Amino acid sequence: MRVVKVFLPLSFVFLFVFSSCQKVDLENQMSEESKAIATFDNGEIVVKLPVTVKESEVFVEKNEKGIINTKIINGVRVSPSYKLVLPASACENLKNEDDIVIGLRTKDFVDGYDFFYVTFNGNIEFPWIGKAIKNEKEDIVYFKICGMLLKEFLKGQKFDKLVIEFSLVRNPDYQRKAFESRFYLLKYQNGVFTMTQNVTPPPAGQRPVIIIHGWQLPSWSEDYGSYVRGVSEGIVKYLTSLGLENKYEFYGFAYDPDYDIYYYSAPALAQYISRYFGSSDSIILIGHSMGGIVARVYNKYYRNKPVKTIITLGTPHHGTPFANLIFGGYVVPFVVPINPWLRRDNLYWTWAMYVHFYLFNGNPYLDALNYNYPNWARLHAFSGYSISSSHPFYYVSGAGLLRFMGFGDNDGLIPLSSARADNYSPIRWYFYDTDHSELTSKSTVLNTIYNIIK
């Protein structure tokens, strides 16, 4: 994440981003569940619940018009609005790891540009955007609601019925954008990262190292390969200069930072890892800023190959207050969207959070990720702190503002408490007078990476 480009994008804290989709089999998804699934099907809507609910307690209502808050999302409705009413017990008995699966029978579907606009109990100010997934066998497009996220959205509410209203919505830019151009793997060869038609796996005896960039602007340029080169080439040139080119093959994962990490970036990374690397390959992931969150989401939810080490460079494990505060979380919708994973969680409260309490309502995405996260002992969290006045103005001013608001020391963008993952137990590394961007270029940082993976 280049901080020179941060202040405008971080103002989109309440914006839930567009979705894209990948084709999977609904039945295969559900067959992975070991528990009994209650299925309700009225011929148009299919609901799968991992809790016991009487059929008489489930009600579906169709509304041809429906409501979409265009201040929050930009899209065109391509289906009627449906209201699903469930008893409160459906939420109360839902476990954190459970998913509610809701499917819509339709043939009108555009891969990569359709998503579900979802509201809970009529709250259109805080909608949820669900990834639209296609089941080709039955012409069903469906989405999943994670139990932990649902409970976070409904925290503190009292209700006797859970009302879920949803519509299938299409990104109006779908005709000129291709999903395949938003997520891809580059390979480091001949001194640069290049995109090839077929990325070759590492030779026998060499392990893959995948470097993941963070949030960058202008995201509308769609040149995500440049994000990889800007962040990764300096790291790899340093490591190969010390002789690691014979031990590792280096790759860069390019992704659209506007898309949701759980539903798009992390599973896309998993797809490439499965495609190009053997089952015995032990992978090392290095993520700068938001790229560290992508690595961690992959490791927790989508890991399909052994992960030896994850190194995060200034990653907001507890978010960043700038995502909550800049412009009150709002700018012109969809001019510069921001990924909601960057929002500050409620690790602890400062006076500024009490003053602006309406902006700090937690971060259910990070709460779910940090809950029972596996293998903290394999995660190395790098943090910059105590930057001097010799650094660029935007870092120095950002560092001063964070201290003034009570968030303590920082790298000019990410509080130290967030980058080092307070309340959890990664292996921590601290770099004095190091700003956010220098975590990908400073020799002391790069030498530490070398010593970890050599």
Overall average pLDDT of the 118-138 stretch: 77
Write down the domain spans for the chain.
Answer: 3-14+182-453, 26-175
- Please tell me the predicted confidence (pLDDT) of residue 332: 37
> Among 296, 188, 212, 213, which Cα is nearest to 5's?
213
Overall average pLDDT of the 196-215 stretch: 83
320: which 2 tokens?
């960043």
Overall average pLDDT of the 141-157 stretch: 78
Overall average pLDDT of the 168-184 stretch: 67
pLDDT one-digit tens code per residue, 320-357? 988 876 544 444 333 445 678 888 888 888 887 777 77
- Please tell me the predicted confidence (pLDDT) of residue 179: 57
pTM assigned to the model: 0.65
- Please tell me the predicted confidence (pLDDT) of residue 173: 59
pLDDT greater than 80 at residue 12: no
Topology, domain 3-14+182-453: Rossmann fold (3.40.50)
Contacting residues for 223 by C-beta, under 8 A, at least 6 apart: none
pLDDT greater than 70 at residue 428: yes
- Range with the lowest mean pLDDT among 52-56, 149-153, 160-164, 216-220? 216-220
Most confident stretch, 128-142, 294-308, 340-354: 294-308
- Please tell me the predicted confidence (pLDDT) of residue 426: 95
- Residue linked to tokens 């830019």: 173
pLDDT one-digit tens code per residue, 368-411? 899 888 888 899 999 999 999 899 888 999 999 999 989 999 99
Distance CA 6, CA 94 (A): 37
373: which 2 tokens?
């996260």
pLDDT confidence bin for 413, thresholds 50/70/90: very high
- Range with the lowest mean pLDDT among 144-158, 414-428, 434-448? 144-158
